[in-house]
A and B are shown apart, each in its own frame.
Chain A
Amino acid sequence: MMIPLADLVTILPELIVVSVACLLLVLDPITPSHRKDLLAWMSVAALAVCFVVTAGGMGDRVSAFSDLVVVDGYASFWKLLLYVVSGMTILLSIGYLKEERIDLAEFYGFVLLSLTGMMIMVSGADLLVIYLGIELMSISLYVLAGFKRFEAKSIESSAKYFILGAFSSGLLLYGISLIFGVAGSTRLVEIAAAVDARGLDDPLILIALMLVIVGFGFKVAAVPFHMWTPDVYQGAPTSVTAFMAVASKAASFGAFLRVMLEGFGGMKPNWSGLILGVCILTLILGNLVAIVQTNVKRMLAYSSIAHAGYALIGLVVAGWVGTGAGVSAKGVSSMMLYLAVYSFMTLGAFSMVAILRRGGDEGEDLDDFTGLAKRHKGAAFLMLLFMISLAGIPPTAGFIGKFYLFMAAVNAGLTWLAVVGLIFAAVSAFYYLRVVMVMYMREPSPDQESETRLALSPTATVVLALAVAGVVLFGVYPWPLVSLTASASLP
Chain B
Amino acid sequence: MPSRNERILIDVSSGGFPWLTLVVFLPLLGVAAILLVEEALAKWVALGISSLVFLVSLPLWVLFDESTPAMQFVEAHQWIASPSINYAVGVDGISLPLVLLTTLLTPLCVLVSWTAIETRVREFVISLLVMETATLGVFVALDFVLFYVFWETMLIPMYLLIGIWGGPNRVYAAIKFFLYTLAGSILLLVAIIVLYFYAGEESFDILTLSNAGYPPWLQAWLFWAFFAAFAVKVPMFPFHTWLPDAHVEAPTAGSVMLASVLLKLGAYGFLRFSLPMLPHATQRFTSVVIFLSVVAIIYGAYMAFAQADLKKLIAYSSVSHMGFVTLGIFVLNAQGIEGAILQMVNHGITTGALFLCVGIVYERTHSREIVDNSGLAASMPVYATFLVIFALSSVGLPGMNSFVGEFFVLLGTFMWSKALATVATLGVILAAAYILWMLQRVVYGTPAQHVAPKLHDMNWREIGTLAPLAFFVFWIGLYPKPLLDVMHASVDHLVQKQANVMVVDAGPPVPPPAIAGTGSFPGPSPTKVETR
Could you tell me which A residues sit within 8 Å of B by CB distance?
373, 377, 384, 388, 393-395, 399, 403, 406-407, 410-411, 415, 418-419, 422-423, 425-426, 429-430, 433, 436-437, 440-441, 477-479, 482-483, 486
- The answer to whether the Cβ of B149 comes within 8 Å of any Cβ in the partner chain is yes
For B81, the chain A residues whose CB sits under 8 A away are 479, 483
> Given A419-B186, A441-B163, A483-B82 in contact, is the A426-B179 Cβ separation under 8 Å?
yes
- The answer to whether the Cβ of B175 comes within 8 Å of any Cβ in the partner chain is yes
Closest B residue to A393 using CB positions: B152
Complexed CA–CA distance, A426 and B194 (Å): 20
1/0 contact trace for B193-204 toward A, CB 8 Å?
A: 110110000000
23 contacts across the A-B interface (CB closer than 8 A): A377-B123, A388-B156, A393-B153, A394-B148, A394-B149, A394-B152, A399-B152, A403-B145, A403-B189, A406-B189, A406-B193, A422-B186, A422-B189, A426-B179, A426-B186, A429-B178, A430-B179, A437-B175, A440-B160, A441-B164, A441-B171, A479-B79, A479-B81
Within the complex, what minimum Cβ distance (angstroms) separates A484 from chain B? 12
- B190, A418: Cβ atoms closer than 8 Å: yes
> Given A418-B190, A429-B178, A483-B81 in contact, is the A437-B171 Cβ separation under 8 Å?
yes
- The answer to whether the Cβ of B467 comes within 8 Å of any Cβ in the partner chain is no
**Which residues 31-51 of B sit at the A interface, judged by CB distance below 8 A?**
none
Within the complex, what minimum Cβ distance (angstroms) separates B13 from chain A? 29
- A393, B190: Cβ atoms closer than 8 Å: no
CB contact between A410 and one of B82, B183, B187, B190 (< 8 Å): that residue:
B190
CB contact between A430 and one of B82, B148, B175, B190 (< 8 Å): that residue:
B175
Could you tell me which B residues sit within 8 Å of A by CB distance?
79-83, 120, 123, 145, 148-149, 152-153, 155-156, 159-160, 163-164, 170-171, 174-175, 178-179, 182-183, 186-187, 189-190, 193-194, 196-197
For A419, the chain B residues whose CB sits under 8 A away are 186-187, 190
- B155, A410: Cβ atoms closer than 8 Å: no
Within the complex, what minimum Cβ distance (angstroms) separates B499 from chain A? 32
Complexed CA–CA distance, A406 and B189 (Å): 9
CB contact between B149 and one of A395, A418, A426, A477 (< 8 Å): that residue:
A395
> Chain A contact residues: over half helix, strand or loop, or mixed?
helix
Closest B residue to A416 using CB positions: B190
> Chain B contact residues: over half helix, strand or loop, or mixed?
helix
Closest A residue to B165 using CB positions: A441
For B160, the chain A residues whose CB sits under 8 A away are 440
Closest B residue to A482 using CB positions: B80
For B163, the chain A residues whose CB sits under 8 A away are 437, 440-441
Within the complex, what minimum Cβ distance (angstroms) separates B81 from chain A? 6
Complexed CA–CA distance, A83 and B148 (Å): 34
Complexed CA–CA distance, A178 and B102 (Å): 67
Closest B residue to A410 using CB positions: B193
Complexed CA–CA distance, A373 and B126 (Å): 14
For A429, the chain B residues whose CB sits under 8 A away are 178-179, 182
- A410, B186: Cβ atoms closer than 8 Å: no
- Known A426-B186, A429-B182; 18 more pairs at CB < 8 Å: A406-B189, A406-B193, A407-B196, A411-B197, A415-B194, A422-B186, A423-B183, A429-B179, A430-B175, A433-B159, A436-B159, A437-B163, A437-B171, A437-B174, A441-B163, A477-B79, A479-B81, A482-B82
Complexed CA–CA distance, A423 and B182 (Å): 9
For B183, the chain A residues whose CB sits under 8 A away are 423, 426
Complexed CA–CA distance, A483 and B78 (Å): 14
The 10 closest A-B pairs by CB, nearest first: A394-B149, A422-B186, A410-B193, A441-B163, A426-B183, A394-B152, A426-B182, A479-B80, A418-B190, A441-B171
For B155, the chain A residues whose CB sits under 8 A away are 393
